[in-house]
């Protein structure tokens, strides 16, 4: 998570850019976009709007950290399998283990665990591959549940702000004993703004979440396919 710290400084800009189209038509000509956004943020209520913004920043930090990790975990499995096959044929298990040590990614780590136990039999090597594959899957999915939490939390906070804004509008009606638009406008504006910001945050994080899940699925499929090929190589090597 160390790389996340470097990302936090730019997440605010990404947030502003994502919601620019929402308020562009409403922005006054005398104000810049950032001034208009700041005004809308204050009008929506700093408490709920601030919490939604924090959810966005934390969600983006987790998403970007996962994307970086998953990109580093992506390897050319076909080349790795071919290199291990060649090493087993020419130099034996130790040469194949050296190939895995010098390769990055979960597939190479799984291969190493299987090769390390091949002397105990192919069945034990297969069990090691399956067990360590589960460990690697856990590492790939690390913190993704937090991202899904922020996706659910952002619109919920927005809707909570909506309910509170409507309560404020009805309080204003009760105090003024009048249902004119001017009396309820402030409360309704707060209600709508918190909902919009919460939904925008959820949409942004959902896009990142879907990309991360598809990336994990792709890596896991490669891991499973490569693991089967490794077991086949070990069977052939043991004959």
Angle, in degrees to the nearest 10, between helices 106-116 and 92-101: 150
Own/partner contacts of 78-81, CB < 8 Å, gap of 24 or more, are 80/107, 80/108, 80/111, 80/226, 81/226, 81/229, 81/230, 81/233
> In sequence order, what are the residues at sequence separation of 6 or more whose Cβ sits closer than 8 angstroms to the Cβ of residue 66?
142, 143, 144, 147, 212
Please state, as a whole number, how many other Cβ atoms lie within 10 Å of the Cβ of residue 183: 16
Higher pLDDT, 101 or 11: 101
Sign, Cα dihedral of 48, 50, 56, 61: negative
> In sequence order, what are the residues at sequence separation of 6 or more whose Cβ sits closer than 8 angstroms to the Cβ of residue 63?
147, 205, 208, 209, 212
105: left (phi over 0), alpha (psi -120 to 50) or beta: left
pLDDT digits (tens, 9 = 90+) for 14-59: 444 444 444 444 444 456 756 666 666 666 667 777 888 888 899 9
Residue 138, burial from CB neighbour count under 10 angstroms (0-12, 13-18, 19+): exposed
pLDDT digits (tens, 9 = 90+) for 168-226: 777 777 777 766 666 566 667 767 778 888 888 999 999 999 999 999 999 999 888 88
Query: For the chain, which residues make up each domain, given as ranges?
Result: 1-239
């Amino acid at each position: 998570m160390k790389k996340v710290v470097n990302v936090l400084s730019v997440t605010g800009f990404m947030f502003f850019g994502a919601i620019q189209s929402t308020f562009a038509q409403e922005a006054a000509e005398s104000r810049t976009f950032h001034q208009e956004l700041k005004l809308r943020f204050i009008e929506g209520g700093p408490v709920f709007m601030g919490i939604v913004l924090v959810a966005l920043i934390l969600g983006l930090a987790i998403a970007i950290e996962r994307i970086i990790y998953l990109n580093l975990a992506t390897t050319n499995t076909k080349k790795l399998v071919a290199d291990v096959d060649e090493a087993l044929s020419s130099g034996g298990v130790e040469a194949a283990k050296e190939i895995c040590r010098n390769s990055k990614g979960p597939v190479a780590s799984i291969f190493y665990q299987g090769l390390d136990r091949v002397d105990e039999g192919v069945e034990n090597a297969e069990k090691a591959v399956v067990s360590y594959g589960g460990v690697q899957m856990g590492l790939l999915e690390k913190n993704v549940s937090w991202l899904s939490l922020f996706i659910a939390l952002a619109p919920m906070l927005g809707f909570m702000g909506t309910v509170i804004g409507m309560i404020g509008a009805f309080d204003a009606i009760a105090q003024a004993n009048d249902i004119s638009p001017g009396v309820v406008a402030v409360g309704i504006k707060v209600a709508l703004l918190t909902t919009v910001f919460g939904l925008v945050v959820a949409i942004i994080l959902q896009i990142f979440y879907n990309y991360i899940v598809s990336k994990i699925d792709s890596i896991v499929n490669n891991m499973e396919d490569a693991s089967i090929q490794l077991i086949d190589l070990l069977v052939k090597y043991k004959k």
